[in-house]
Amino acid sequence: MAATALTRNGISEATPVEIRRRIGAALIDWTICVVAYVVVSIPLGLIEGFGFALRSESSTAAPGRVVTLLAQIAVLLPTLLYFTLGLREGHTLGMAAFDFKTLDARDGKPPGIVRSLVRSLVSVAFGAAVVLAYMGHSAEHTYWSHYERTIYVLALIVTGIVVVDKAFVPAHRSGRALTDRLFRLVRVTGAAGDTDRGLSDWLDRRVGR
């Protein structure tokens, strides 16, 4: 199945990216995000601790909750910015390494900043849900509060949605996940004029052995 792709010479035909390239790109992208998370969590952890200290005093409990919440949200901002800025250009570093792009399925252009931001928010939410579901599954549930159980159940539900979403990639000939269809995006490789194939040549040689 052919798809449009934006190249240096305009719009041309390209093919949906193979699942092995998507996996390789995802490994690179999420490794970068994990490293960024660890780096920013150190100073933000100090800020969160300050928020907890404020919450321990009745006179500053409300500001303490605000500081704690902002610190917890801010730790995800590097991941959100990474995917947003990458998608706005048509590819993240992982996608570039494996020679494919994420483009508008209608005109072959990179998605704009708004669509990239919303799509990135979905990716971050999906990633957070999978992590929470795994942590919840591995934890002792005996002393959980109603709030913690609710979060765990919601994480399991979203994780199930992630599984269904990704199952469409190998199941359909277009290679598009449900979220790709929702945001009218297509991931394509082999665009004319792109001579730098990143890690794709190495991957092809390894698979061809």
Mean pLDDT, range 168-187, rounded to an integer: 85
Q: How many helices (H) and strands (E) does the chain have?
A: 8, 4
Determine the pLDDT at residue 145.
85
Task: Calculate the average pLDDT of the chain.
Answer: 82
Distance CA 97, CA 194 (A): 12
pLDDT reported for residue 15: 74
Q: What is the pLDDT of residue 48?
A: 86
Average pLDDT over residues 15-25: 85
Neighbours of 180 (CB within 10 A): 20
Integer CA distances (angstroms), 109 to 7, 25, 26, in order:
9, 20, 21
Average pLDDT over residues 14-20: 78
- Full-model pTM: 0.77
Proportion of the chain above pLDDT 90, given as a percent: 40
Q: Among 207, 27, 5, 189, which residue's Cα sits nearest to residue 105? A: 5
Q: Can you tell me whether residue 199 is helix, strand or coil? A: coil
Angle in degrees, CA 11, 25, 102, rounded to 5: 25
For residue 192 the two structure tokens come to 């004319």
pLDDT value at residue 5? 44
Spatial distance between the Cα atoms of 8 and 182, rounded to a whole number of angstroms: 27
Q: Which of 22-36, 52-66, 73-87, 162-176 has the lowest mean pLDDT?
A: 52-66
